[in-house]
Structure 1
Amino acid sequence: MSKKLIVLFLGLIPLLCTCFSPDTPSDRRVLVLLDDFAIKSSHSIFFNNLKSRGFDLDFKLAHDPTISLQRYGQYLYDALILFSPSIERFGGSIDAAAILDFVDSGHDLIVAASSNASDLIREIATECGVDFDEDSSAMVIDHSGYAVSATEGDHTLIASDDFIKSDVILGKEKIKAPVLFQGIGHSLNPSNSLVLKVLSASPSAYSANPSSKLTSPPSLTGTSISLVSVVQARNNARILISGSLSMFSNRFFQSDVQKAGSPTKHDKSGNEQFLTELSKWVFHERGHLKAVNVKHHKIGEVEEPALYRINDDLEYSVELYEWSGKDWEPYVANDVQVQFYMMSPYVLKTLSTDSKGYYFTSFKVPDVYGVFQFKVEYERLGYTSLSLSKQIPVRPFRHNEYERFIPAAYPYYGAAFSMMAGFFIFTAVHLYHK
């Protein structure tokens, strides 16, 4: 081998190590599609926040004919942000089906709509389990929960503080100020159990055209109106859908806020904190779990056997970690369970933990032989789901492995010996006594 080839090979080693190292959920490329490049500056605080957390943002106009999500069958981006609510047709090779395939491949998506949301944006939202108000001119109006301002206007500028109660989605630090929202409301598809309200409207809110009088009851009213929703797909892809593009803007981030009826005036709205924490969840900087070192073996042994025998005592263990945004930290919970499964669970055990990410339990193999599976199906609100399975056969006792005398058969042993003793006594009496 020549010196040049050796040098080339040594130079490729770091690249190969990087390619085959375990992926982390962050530090990824994000495609941002805009209606207008002016949004890049008017929403710069949100974008700069993502950049400071290690994301590489690629800004393009939504109608750019050169945009593409994949090349030669490989996706070029790990996440997509749609800040183009009025786009009627994407440029390049992107359409609604391509975006849904992007999500089906395990990638994340943020969609921000507005009162002039196009049919294309509505179609994408509908496929994700979210239905925007059918009235294209409708906005969320709240005459009780509006944001107090110098010009009261039509009360479409809402100050909402009805957040989802989940530390993993919105972070452990409480959001101190209400969130400013101005846009279109949506409802959740009741048949879709994967979509969740993150920010809800108040009971006094309704969706209608603010510039015209109501002639019929509004289709969306009260807390059934969702302002911001999230979806975690079964493949752990995450989606954020907002009815307002303005809530991501610098103006809303830096504006003071006072909710109608509240004496407290906040110097800064809760938009920046709310959307920062929510974007951390969407981009898997929080609530992302992984399982490593799944092991099982007989008690007293170390090696994993090729099969078990009925009534063997075994031990099962797994290590669970959560991504903190920088590194993997031990995940601590008391509701992780393992099933020993064949057609149905024969054993269901809650795993004990040492609070350092190590989960373990022990149990006896059931008195049934066949092909079993160790199964861990873990689903918890806000966390990526875990589905672990390991197949193992279970055999019966061999002919020379049974006990010589089975305790359950002692009554039958006693009956046989008592019969023999009785026959001996009867024979002796009959022969030697008249």
Structure 2
Amino acid sequence: MRMGFKKTLTMAKLSLSLSLFYFTVFSLLLSLSTSFDPENPSVRRILVILDDASLKSSHSIFFNSLQSRGYNLDFKLSDDRNIALQRYGRYLYDSLILFSPSADSIGDGSLKLKDVMDFVDSGHDLILAANANASDFVRNVASECGADFEDATAAVVIDHTSYSVSEIDGDHSLIASDTFIKSDVIFGRENIEAPVLFRGIGHSVNAASSLVLKVLSASPAAYSANPNSKLSKPPVLTGTSISLVSVVQARNNARVLISGSLDMFSDRFFRSSVEKAGSTYKYKKSGNEQFLMELSKWILHERGHLKAVNIRHHRLGETNEPSIYRINDDLEFSVEIYEWSGTRWEPYVADDVQVQFYMMSPYVLKTLSNDKKGLYYTSFKVPDVYGVFQFKVEYQRLVIQAYLCQNRNLIPVRPFKHDEYERFIPVAFPYYGGSFSMMAAFFIFSILYLYHK
């Protein structure tokens, strides 16, 4: 009787262990299945790190908008020691939202600066918001992405000409800015009519870098300073050089949003009315919601995300892709390019897409023709250089995905075989004539020399 009870208990433990094992495997497979899929960019997991749990409710409009668009948000506090971006060599999330500007460390040091930058370097997206109390950690992350926040203590952006008249503090630090970047790819086709409310810290970007762009700038009269103290020296950041919100389009297609204001994401700023100084018109609602919703669509690849498929190349007049080309062969190349609209892939139409046929450097650079349905094509002659080549399509345009495709297959190009050369080369006819004339002259000279008396 006792032996039967022990056997039953052992079987129950075994059954429980197997159930836990299958549950763990299922959870792992489920997490992997919801990871970033280039074929369906909107189905993604986002880690949201907050300074305070109250931000989840005070910024609920922004978070609810992301969730309504199909994103799975995982909220964690900045002091949570279980914060991790990857496990067993796999990234657990596809995007990261850092709404913890005052946190000196994330997860008590479990998430380091290197981890965040490796996350971006691996092609993932980042949304970072700071304020006047931004920690060194947040400043260093922004600096690594190409944006340098104001170093002065408690410095904020002040503007005495483009402030919101609803500001009651009198320091004109609540800015109403409408200096947006002109880009339908980022903001869509609808114009943002109302100014965007901003209260926070400004930053500068490297003007020589084509990867960092200012999407919301300060007015020429703005400057960065501490509103509670007198200016002892000229401000470091002034005028339109102050960027309020910037974006980064990395070469690996990762996208980064850097904002100097956490308040601009709040429900209060979303619902607030705006009356810009010097204007007689009062907007019932600020442009923050439209501005950030449209901007987040670009950051999260709902807009401006391209893919290249069906790369084909073959000799002119043929259909099969050869294993090797010969120099001076006539070659045809084609590729299909589509853009993600947020719900489906649509043909991308442009007249400036180019293909490179390169070895160590491009030997052929051709602009592709298109049929207005996503198919791009061209033809060219294989260069008179033998070696190993590749096809590459790079589309480096403003806020459009910079890297499209690269044919990973190596394409050997060989010289002519000995029996493939022309028997008589037309350009060598003068040399042929010189050789035969020399032979004839030598023959005549020999006859004359031998038989002349």
- 2:260 matched to which residue of 1? 243
Deviation at 1:356, TM superposition (A): 1.2
- 2:118 matched to which residue of 1? 101
Deviation at 1:168, TM superposition (A): 1.2
Classify 1:160/1:346 alpha carbon distance in 2 versus 1 (closer, same or farther; 3 Å): same
- Name the SS of the counterpart of 2:62 in structure 1: helix
- 1:230 matched to which residue of 2? 247
Stretches of structure 2 that go unaligned for 5 or more consecutive residues are 1-21
- Name the SS of the counterpart of 2:185 in structure 1: helix
In the alignment, is residue 402 of structure 1 matched against residue 421 of structure 2? Answer: yes
Residue of structure 1 aligned with 2:50, choices 34, 58, 72: 34
Provide, for residues 36-87 of structure 1, a one-character-per-residue CA deviation record: whole Å limited to 9, x for no partner. Answer: 1211111111111101100011112111223222222222211111111111
Correspondence 1:9-88 to 2 at 5 A? 23-88=39-104
- Please tell me the residue identity of whatever aligns with 1:320: I
- Please tell me the residue identity of whatever aligns with 2:41: P
In the alignment, is residue 373 of structure 1 matched against residue 354 of structure 2? Answer: no
Q: Could you tell which deviates more after superposition, 274-283 or 396-405?
A: 396-405
Conservation of the 8 A alpha-carbon contact between 1:117 and 1:136: no
- 2:168 matched to which residue of 1? 151
The two structures, once aligned, show a CA RMSD in angstroms of 2.8
In the alignment, is residue 202 of structure 1 matched against residue 219 of structure 2? Answer: yes
Correspondence 1:113-262 to 2 at 5 A? 113-149=130-166, 151=168, 153-189=170-206, 192-262=209-279
- 1:3 matched to which residue of 2? none
Cα distance in 2 between the residues matched to 1:19 and 1:144: 47
In the alignment, is residue 392 of structure 1 matched against residue 408 of structure 2? Answer: no
Deviation at 1:204, TM superposition (A): 0.1
- 1:316 matched to which residue of 2? 333
Deviation at 1:191, TM superposition (A): 6.4
Deviation at 1:427, TM superposition (A): 9.6
- Name the SS of the counterpart of 1:259 in structure 2: coil
Q: Could you tell which deviates more after superposition, 40-49 or 397-406?
A: 397-406
Provide, for residues 352-403 of structure 1, a one-character-per-residue CA deviation record: whole Å limited to 9, x for no partner. Answer: 1111111111111222322233232321111222251443122222222222
Cα distance in 1 between the residues matched to 2:274 and 2:252: 38
Deviation at 1:339, TM superposition (A): 2.2
- Please tell me the residue identity of whatever aligns with 2:281: T
Q: Could you tell which deviates more after superposition, 16-25 or 180-189?
A: 16-25
Cα distance in 2 between the residues matched to 1:105 and 1:127: 15
Q: Could you tell which deviates more after superposition, 201-210 or 101-110?
A: 101-110
Cα distance in 1 between the residues matched to 2:208 and 2:316: 46
- Please tell me the residue identity of whatever aligns with 1:173: E
- 1:334 matched to which residue of 2? 351
Would you say how many aligned residue pairs link Structure 1 and Structure 2?
Answer: 422
Q: Could you tell which deviates more after superposition, 321-330 or 149-158?
A: 149-158
Conservation of the 8 A alpha-carbon contact between 2:34 and 2:45: no
Classify 1:296/1:160 alpha carbon distance in 2 versus 1 (closer, same or farther; 3 Å): same
Classify 1:353/1:181 alpha carbon distance in 2 versus 1 (closer, same or farther; 3 Å): same
Classify 1:404/1:178 alpha carbon distance in 2 versus 1 (closer, same or farther; 3 Å): same
Deviation at 1:303, TM superposition (A): 0.9
Q: Could you tell which deviates more after superposition, 174-183 or 329-338?
A: 329-338
- Please tell me the residue identity of whatever aligns with 2:240: T
Cα distance in 1 between the residues matched to 2:441 and 2:234: 95
Cα distance in 2 between the residues matched to 1:358 and 1:407: 40
- 1:286 matched to which residue of 2? 303
Cα distance in 2 between the residues matched to 1:375 and 1:150: 53
Cα distance in 2 between the residues matched to 1:277 and 1:27: 17
- Please tell me the residue identity of whatever aligns with 1:336: V
Cα distance in 2 between the residues matched to 1:19 and 1:96: 26
Cα distance in 1 between the residues matched to 2:219 and 2:306: 34
Cα distance in 1 between the residues matched to 2:153 and 2:301: 33
Conservation of the 8 A alpha-carbon contact between 2:167 and 2:174: no
Cα distance in 1 between the residues matched to 2:91 and 2:451: 101
- Please tell me the residue identity of whatever aligns with 2:348: Y
Cα distance in 2 between the residues matched to 1:266 and 1:160: 13
- Name the SS of the counterpart of 1:356 in structure 2: coil
Provide, for residues 150-203 of structure 1, a one-character-per-residue CA deviation record: whole Å limited to 9, x for no partner. Answer: 736211110101111222122222111110001111111456542211100000
Q: Normalising by structure 1, report the TM-score.
A: 0.89
Q: Normalising by structure 2, report the TM-score.
A: 0.86
